[in-house]
Homo-oligomer: A and B are copies of this chain.
Amino acid sequence: MSLSLTILGCHSATPRANAFPTSQYLEINNRHFLIDCGEGTQRQMRKYKVGFTKINHIFISHLHGDHFYGLVGLLSTYGILGREKELHIYGPKGIKKVTLLQLKISESHAKYPMIFHELTSKESELIFEDDKVSVRTIPLKHRVYTNGYLFTEKEKPLKLHIDNINNYDEIDRADFNNIKAGKDVVLSTGEIIPNAELTLPPKKALSFAFCSDTVYKPNIIPIIKNADLLYHEATFLADKQELAKKTKHSTSKEAAQIAKDANVGQLVVGHYSGRYKNIDLFKEEAQEIFENSELAIPGKVFTIQ
């Protein structure tokens, strides 16, 4: 029961010897998601020991090459590996056609069902939900149609207050699910033991917000409010504020302002422009506004317990 984010790639624009385009692997409440898939993502997955078969859902923010050119190779590799399980791909309208054409022309005969969920809405919408996790879009503003994604654990059950439970010999394991679900217990004497006596508050349901690529867009704040972990792009430093606005990217300062105003637990910035040789400056700039700011670095894992 935790949230763990592995950075696979975190640089903007073009792959370089030690710069990898955007991709992240998220484990949340025992669900495993891939977010964005720039060229070389599958290699980064191998390098950082990300289990290919655990992933059943891939979320693509937008169709700029540095966020999806690695998708077709990964889908093809799943075919070569003999995958049979369904794979769900979420992304902007158009992703299905271009991906299937590439797979067709390369005669990549994947035998597993590939289910595309093409997004067009400009409002935040619930796009995935099961008993463990839900995923909503975070409409962003970039040069092309772009969504961030908010991954949220489902509300967790109440925790058992074992010390108190032990005061009642009659209550045993068979009752635990009902107690965790909030029910009182009726003893054989007719006495009612209120649930509040037998339980502790549940663990907090964790959430992670992924926001890339986007210009500074404070109206996402209500959607990502109180997220435990926020990844927000920071392509530029504040010295390139005008360029950020023009290219519809954010500065590290702006990312930190969003983190602060949304009252998130921790901020991770990335998507650094290749012009900056010293990425530590991104952290320094963010920390002036929001103390708990960190840098995305390939292979780095952020864990929230």
Contacts and interface: CB of A to CB of B under 8 A. Distances in A.
A159 interface: no
Contacts of A77: 13-15
A132 interface: no
Interface residues on A, range: 35 or more
Number of copies of this protein chain within its complex: 2
A168 to B, nearest CB: 55
Contacts of A101: 97-98, 101
Contacts of A72: 65, 69
A76 B80 contact: no
Nearest to A48: B17
A68 interface: yes
A105 interface: yes
Interface stretch (A39-47, A82-90, A149-157, A260-268): A39-47
Contact of A73 (B17, B47, B65): B65
A118 to B, nearest CB: 12
A94 interface: yes
Given A40-B15, A42-B39, A43-B16, A65 B69 contact: no
Contacts of A20: 43
A183 interface: no
Contacts of A43: 15-17, 20, 39-40
A70 interface: yes
Contact of A106 (B42, B46, B65, B106): B65
Interface string A132-167: 000000000001100000000000000000000000
Contacts of A39: 39-40, 42-43, 70, 73
Contacts of A94: 105
22 contacts: A13-B80, A14-B42, A14-B81, A15-B40, A15-B42, A16-B43, A16-B46, A17-B46, A39-B39, A39-B40, A39-B42, A39-B70, A39-B73, A64-B108, A65-B106, A65-B108, A69-B76, A97-B101, A98-B101, A98-B105, A102-B102, A107-B143
Given A13-B77, A13-B80, A15-B43, 6 more contacts: A14-B77, A17-B46, A63-B107, A65-B73, A65-B106, A98-B101
